[in-house]
Structure 1
Amino acid sequence: MARDRDRFSTATRLRLLGEQTAARVYRSQTRRQARRSRLTGRAAFLALVVCSMIVALAYPTRQYVSQRNEIAEQQRLADEARERVERLRDEKARLQDDAYVKRLAREHLHMVMPGETGYTMVNPRAGQQPRVEEGGVGQPWYSNVWDDVDRADTGR
């Protein structure tokens, strides 16, 4: 009987050891699954936070870049306007000089000083198309001048 008791106790002990081992394996599996599911949940939450940050920052970043471009464009326009103002100030200073104003009047308005005689040369054929037999088409201007001189000399 003592032997049966030992056998029984050994069998009972083996059964208990098997149950304990099975329980440990089950617990470790559930812990791993729980850990995996927690990491997956954490990863999903982290991904959601990162995506939310990207979406939240995309529009302000785009606006920032756009405004920086507008600022650069406005600075360029201001520099151009400043240069134009300087050119106009120079022109204004030159227009204060009487000799400069007289020269402009002579060049652009064809004005003459009192006592001078002004001449204006008018080309009689200014409105006409050049004739092909004269060779006017495709020739340089000085060739046309020499052709006109030769023609005037022959009386044609």
Structure 2
Amino acid sequence: MAGNRDRFSTATRLRQLGERTAAHVYRSQSRRQVRRSRLTGRAALLVLVLCTLVVALAYPMRQYVSQRSEITEQQRAADEARQRLEELRDEKARWQDPAYVKQQARRHLHFVQPGEIGYTMIDPTAEAEERRRTEHGAADRPWYSNVWDGVDKADRPDAN
């Protein structure tokens, strides 16, 4: 009977209640830990999948952006080429006109019509500039000036 009494005693009941409560709390904590570990595994898997997608798509996206910029550049170059082609066609059409050819011959080659008198004015202050051009290059001068300069230099004994 003493064992029975112990079973119904307050201390025994409190101890059993504490043990049951502790077991319940322990089971509850282990379930939470299991859930946490599942969520952590799922989260890790999700992160792994996302990283894989980013790595897999990074190179094609870089290529796409690079090719788009290259296409834009090629289109710009094609537009410039079309514009230059139009300018050349216009210039070709102008050169088909005899009046334009005469105008350019007068301007660049200093041609004159029969019966006209051509004058070449020399600016006295430009003599120093002419010497500088002779020394540094003759790209801006008319072609016949370069020819005469060559003849003059050939005549000089110190030209060698």
TM-score (norm 2): 0.68
Counterpart-to-counterpart distance in 2, 1:29 and 1:59: 45
Counterpart-to-counterpart distance in 2, 1:53 and 1:35: 27
Tell me what 1:21 maps to.
21
The AA in structure 1 aligned to 2:57 is L
Shift of residue 125, structure 1, vs aligned partner: 4.0
Tell me what 2:79 maps to.
79
The AA in structure 2 aligned to 1:83 is Q
Counterpart-to-counterpart distance in 1, 2:46 and 2:8: 52
Shift of residue 9, structure 1, vs aligned partner: 4.5
Shift of residue 126, structure 1, vs aligned partner: 2.1
Tell me what 2:42 maps to.
42
Tell me what 1:118 maps to.
118
Structure 1: which 5+ residue stretches go unaligned? Answer: 130-156
Tell me what 2:56 maps to.
56
Which moves more between the two structures, 69-78 or 110-119? Answer: 110-119
Which moves more between the two structures, 51-60 or 69-78? Answer: 51-60
Tell me what 2:94 maps to.
94
The AA in structure 1 aligned to 2:85 is V
Q: Secondary structure at the match of 1:127?
A: helix
Flag the structure with higher helix content. 2
The AA in structure 2 aligned to 1:73 is E
Counterpart-to-counterpart distance in 1, 2:27 and 2:68: 59
Tell me what 1:30 maps to.
30
Change (3 A) 1:25 1:125: closer
Q: Secondary structure at the match of 1:120?
A: coil
Counterpart-to-counterpart distance in 1, 2:124 and 2:36: 101
Tell me what 1:109 maps to.
109
The AA in structure 2 aligned to 1:59 is Y
Counterpart-to-counterpart distance in 2, 1:53 and 1:59: 11
Post-superposition Cα deviations, 1:87-142, rounded to whole Å, max 9, x if no partner, equal 1001111111111111111111111112222111122442237xxxxxxxxxxxxx
How many residue pairs are counted as aligned between the two chains? 127
Counterpart-to-counterpart distance in 1, 2:59 and 2:27: 48
- Give the CA RMSD over aligned residues: 2.4
TM-score (norm 1): 0.69
Q: Secondary structure at the match of 2:127?
A: coil
Identity of aligned residues (%): 67
Counterpart-to-counterpart distance in 2, 1:82 and 1:128: 44
